[in-house]
Structure 1
Amino acid sequence: MQEKVSTRTQSLQNNPNLSQKDVRVVERILSKNDLKALEMKKRYQADGLYVLNFMSSPGSGKTTLLENLAGFEDFKFCVIEGDLQTNRDADRLLKKGVQAQQITTGEACHLEAAMIEGAYDILQSKGALQESDYLVIENVGNLVCPSSYNLGAAMNIVMLSTPEGDDKVLKYPTMFLCADAVVVSKADLMEVFNFRLSQVQEDMDRLKPDTPIFTLSHKDTHSLRAFKDFLAENRARNYQSAHVF
């Protein structure tokens, strides 16, 4: 923990956009979040839940992926949804029979562990946690802010949609360094957008070697099943992300 704090402090102090007062404020916020994330991780484990933190830019297809995963009878999950406004994503999942609790953050471009705690309590009161093997946290759509906030998840999944382009890994390295797996969505559009999967692979090899990369399309159920099986295998061996936020 001391090494983690020292590294973070140095990074903040080297930021030319932050004054020393700003650094102290940011440190207090992040330290408070880390403690709450550790507390939540213990709760997840005590409740027998394998927690997945899905991160991406807006419109990458996170909710659509969860709707499709709902079609697998052997993948029992509930969801905490994060958006600046509206309950639309939670409502979509409820229509698919998935228990979902929406968090509206207002102006915040990320979820924090304390926000998760409140939604978690609500899902628990509804019996959703007891009926689930997984809890999926669908983070606020943003390729920057969520990468700084630990939520205590076992795995961090970063999604990149084909229309966004194949150059995002090195443009947003802090986000992709979080990834225990990368999902390239809307893969059926690769030719249309001249999307090079080889570029994503090359950039991930430079940034974080050996990170699994999945290509998904709603037209290809085999790719979805392969991703679902990957998650199940990691749950079975109790894989826990080693990433330090």
Structure 2
Amino acid sequence: MCATCGCGDDAGTRVSDLDGTVHDGTVHDGTVHDGTVQNTVHAAAAPHEHPHPHPHPHDHGHEHPHDHGPDGHSHAPDGRTLISLEENLLAKNDLLAARNRGWLEGRGIRAFNVMSSPGAGKTTLLVRTIRELAGELDIGVIEGDQETSLDADRIRSTGRPVIQINTGAGCHLDAGMLQRALDALDPGPGSTVFIENVGNLVCPALFDLGESARVVVISVTEGDDKPQKYPHMFLAADLVIINKADLLPYVEFDVERCVGQARRLNPGVDVLTLSATTGEGMDGWLEWIRKNPHAATAAVGSAPRSGGLRV
């Protein structure tokens, strides 16, 4: 159980490449329900190392960040044990995130953590982005969902590599999950990785993955009060995208009010209004990607362009 948000821990997390290979630990042959044999990776109880072509720090120690009393668990009446556990969990995550960040920066790889509530349009945005930047950037995607590979299958249809993380009961990705997914994706130097986080405007804001930048997507169908309701998410954002702009004539959504709320929380945040469905406003998003740090090393076939749009 995650003490930070109460979701299930990552014991049931599955990292797969959609070809039947699960990347979670040691490899052995396994038979699936239809009788076919595939390579399967299961989390191992003992520490081990991954033979990866790009050295990637791993921490496989088994820790119990809380004290056990005679009944197995001791909890102070004032909640100090719970607070200590939460701090230890986040500290371990932050250590892994720092390792991820160093691994990515050492290879000139940009990683954008894309977060939103369910249905805001993250996958539609990424599919259109990949197609718009085809031949210009070397893009890979890491998809996070509790179950299914539906969104990953949509990404795969673009021809770009994608790794699926299924978190089970988990409501967010963490740095350890990203570490395993990066091992499986194996992005090339100078490439761009989009991480589609689990649909949730709360917990993903708390977990540093080691990403280059955080992108928060909201849709006009959700209402213009989201920055007020979910301040931690907007405080953590480098960019806020207001999506489904084509529906503005049909819903009650005040763009200026929403932008004002976001900037009161986070004065330096970029805000873009667009429609991933129609393509309206997509140029601003593509320019934001091009101008982001490490863009000069990420171009494929053409030089990145400077500039961008701040609304």
- TM-score tier by shorter-chain length is 0.7 to 0.9
Q: Do the aligned partners of 2:145 and 2:165 also contact (CA within 8 Å) in 1?
A: yes
| 2:228 matched residue in structure 1 | 170
2: CA distance, partners of 1:95 / 1:220: 19
| Larger displacement relative to structure 2 (107-116 or 213-222) | 213-222
Asked if the contact 1:167–1:200 (Cα under 8 Å) also holds between the matched residues in 2, the reply is yes
The answer to whether the Cα contact below 8 Å between 2:218 and 2:241 also exists between their aligned partners in 1 is yes
Give the Å deviation of 1:143: 0.4
Q: Which moved more, 1:84-93 or 1:71-80?
A: 71-80
Distance 1:210 1:38 in 2: 23
2:102 matched residue in structure 1 = 42
Q: Alpha carbon RMSD of aligned pairs, Å?
A: 1.6
Task: For residue 86 of structure 2, give the secondary structure of its aligned residue in structure 1.
Answer: helix
Q: Give the drift of 1:218.
A: 3.2
**Cα distance per residue 1:120-169 (max 9 Å; x no partner):** 11111xxxx12762111111000000011000111100111111110110
Q: Tell me the alpha carbon deviations over residues 98-128 of structure 1, each in whole angstroms, 9 at most, x when there is no partner.
A: 211000000110001000111111111xxxx
CA distance in structure 1 between the aligned counterparts of 2:173 and 2:161, rounded to whole angstroms: 19
**What's the offset of the Cα at 1:220?**
4.4
Distance in 1 between residues matched to 2:121 and 2:149, nearest whole Å: 16
CA drift at 1:48:
1.8
Q: Distance in 1 between matches of 2:282 and 2:137?
A: 12
**Percent of paired sites with the same residue:** 38
Partner of 1:53: 113
Give the equivalent residue in structure 2 for 1:216.
Answer: 274
Equivalent of 1:195 in 243, 246, 253: 253
> TM-score scaled by structure 1?
0.84
Normalized against structure 2, the TM-score is what?
0.67
2:170 matched to which residue of 1? 108
- Superposed CA deviations along residues 15-65 of structure 1, whole A, max 9, x for unmatched, are xxx821110111111000000000000111122211101011011111100
Compare 177-186 and 217-226 and name the one that shifted more: 217-226
Match of 2:5 in 1: none
Superposition pairs for residues 91-240 of structure 1, below 5 Å? 91-124=153-186, 129-130=187-188, 133-218=191-276, 220-221=278-279, 223-236=281-294
- Deviation, 1:190, is 1.3
| Equivalent position SS for 2:249 | coil
Q: How many residues align?
A: 217
Call closer, same or farther: CA 1:58–1:193 in 2, change over 3 Å: same
Measure, in 2, the Cα distance between the counterparts of 1:236 and 1:19. Answer: 43
Runs (4 or more) in structure 1 with deviation over 4 Å come to none
